[in-house]
Amino acid sequence: MQSSSVSSSASPRPLTDYGWDDGFAESFASFAGQGYVPGRVVRVDRGRVDAVVPDGDGVRTVLADTALVATGDPMRVPCTGDWAVIDLGEVGAGRDGAVRALLPRRTAFVRSTSSKRSEGQVLAANVDHAVVAVSLAVELDLGRIERFVSLAWESGAQPLVVLTKTDLVDPAGLAHLVADTETAAPGVQVLAVSSAAGEGLDVLAAVVAGGTSVLLGQSGAGKSTLANALLGEDVQDVRAARDRDGKGRHTTTTRDLLVLPGGGVLIDTPGLRGVGMWDADTGLARAFSDVEELAADCRFHDCAHATEPGCAVLSAVDSGTLPQRRLDSYRKLLRENERIVAKTDARLRAQIRRDWKQKQALGRHMVERKRGARG
């Protein structure tokens, strides 16, 4: 029996403000004749989701159970931003329906969890812009920005770095911080904003208008303050950051999808303490496009940019064209990503083991040659 308050025959067009388009309509077509309705997940909490569904000429939020799509795979559980197939006939105690399936994701921002099983976690789905909020109330961590940007490129979304709390920095210092960030994020727009002073918010609002954007960053980065500024009202709870380290408490505890008055939707997320790499080869290549372009001129196609002769990357470091810090960060993230992939890919794990053994053998051979030369 269908819910009397929301008709399964209601037009999905009211969902347009939430990102519904012809592409998602085509994906949903096979479910339309089964009495189901499309819905966008706006919040996830303990095996249930809040989803907006069409209701006559408008929309309403329903609470739907996710037990029918529980697979045990954390990469396939519903997350904020997903488009779901909602069965409003599956009503029960404390719920309005059930999620029958998820429509194919166009993009997904994924990080590795702290689990020893090296599982991936989808933080947001069907996102067009990944907005990385970075507070200038603390020392700028370029390595963390590179990590976020790599994962953002890998997700399929367009990265955007927003330096917040610029009112705490003098103009000359701000110019240097913006320049350093642009060097760490080639091809990525960097915006400097101050919610307190109202500076830069109009540009940010124009960028995120239309489509779906997700706000990412550490606690205290000013994400919820940014969200409120973009929404034009205090929807998200905001608390002051600690003076000693600039970090805030987790005022946002769930990933919430909110409709922006200028068009588009915004997903606000809790502060992220750790952002582990997750199978981000393509994202790393784009985040470090400057290193990749230099590497194309190395003498050896498999150059490790360590001690090889004719290494264009090392030459760039020696000349000051490429910062040593940037190369070190590139190596670190590559190693981390390789370890994560190896844990889930037996063939790659075997290849890494073979390469390691070959390097060991080569090292022993070089030691023996040196001993022979001295003899």
CB 40 within 8 A of CB 99: no
Give the Cα separation of 184 and 188 in Å (integer): 9
Binding residues for GTP are 164-167, 217-225
Give the Cα separation of 194 and 175 in Å (integer): 14
Give the Cα separation of 53 and 61 in Å (integer): 6
Binding residues for Zn(2+) are 298, 303, 305, 311
Closest CA to 28 of 17, 43, 13: 13
Query: What's at 207, amino acid-wise?
Result: V
Give the Cα separation of 371 and 46 in Å (integer): 64
Closest CA to 80 of 263, 217, 214, 236: 214
Binding residues are 164-167, 217-225, 298, 303, 305, 311
